[in-house]
Amino acid sequence: MSTKSQPDHTPDTHPGEPLLLTEGPSEPEADVPQLLQTGGPAVKLEDLGPMVVNTDGTLSRISNWSNLTDPEKERTLRVLSARNKFVFDFHIGFVF
């Protein structure tokens, strides 16, 4: 007799669909340029946190990155770097 396993997703997500990025701050910060130009000044995105390579090839970010402590961020970066490398290496040669 076989039992049905529970789906590996939360009720508000659907397997196979890319994860949506969360919305940014409602008001732009004063020191962040609002217009990007080719060859213009660099724009830093460190406050958004690291990119996550999902198993389906999509990219996302850690939604609570700004709430993590420095030790949590260091551990997350270490684990995420290894995971991203594994997922990326697995998909080399495959078209996403």
The whole-number pLDDT of residue 50 equals: 92
Q: Is the pLDDT of residue 68 over 70?
A: yes
Tell me whether residue 33 is in a domain: no
Q: How far apart are CA 15 and CA 7, in angstroms?
A: 8
Tell me whether residue 37 is in a domain: no
Which stretches within the chain are classed as H helix?
Answer: 70-91
End-to-end CA distance of the chain: 37
Please tell me which residue, 84 or 4, carries the higher pLDDT value.
84
Which domain, by its residues, includes 61? 48-91
How many structural domains compose the chain? 1
Amino acid, res. 9: H
The whole-number pLDDT of residue 35 equals: 73
Please tell me which residue, 3 or 63, carries the higher pLDDT value.
63
Tell me whether residue 80 is in a domain: yes
77: its two tokens: 């970066």
Tell me whether residue 84 is in a domain: yes
Tell me whether residue 4 is in a domain: no
Tell me whether residue 73 is in a domain: yes
